[in-house]
Amino acid sequence: MSGRIGKQKWTDLIASILVLVGFGYVLIRACFEFYEIAWGTGVWLGEFSLKWGMGFFAFVLLCVLSWATVIFILWKPNVLAGWGEGIKYYRKPA
């Protein structure tokens, strides 16, 4: 093999990128919507009220972490393979 990537690999790569872009778009739109609701509610940082501002920043952090989790799952699925056995252990009937 001279460094070529097979057709299936390219298909998987393109599918993963499309999933990431789509999921990222949904998360960004959700953050913009939350910003529209939260902005102008107070006089704290950037015209947020303290509660709405903290909620907004927590929501943005949650979105970033969930997007990073999806990246991790799509690019390193074999890392999660061992977790299935651990879950099966705890799901065994008593």
User: Is residue 2 included in any domain, yes or no?
Assistant: no
- Taking all residues of the chain, what is their mean pLDDT, rounded to a whole number? 83
Cα–Cα distance for residue pair 71/65, rounded to 1 Å: 10
User: Is residue 63 included in any domain, yes or no?
Assistant: yes
pLDDT tens-place string over residues 15-27:
888 999 999 999 9
Domain membership of residue 24 as a residue range: 7-91
* Total tally of structural domains belonging to the chain: 1
More confident residue, 32 or 78: 32
| pTM score | 0.70
User: Is residue 1 included in any domain, yes or no?
Assistant: no
Q: Please state the φ and ψ torsions of residue 4, each to the nearest 5 degrees.
A: -85, 145
User: Is residue 77 included in any domain, yes or no?
Assistant: yes
Q: Residue 83 corresponds to which tokens in the numbers above?
A: 């977790």
More confident residue, 90 or 49: 49
Residue 86, classed as helix, strand or coil, is helix
- Identify the sign of the CA torsion 55, 59, 62, 64: negative
pLDDT of 1: 45
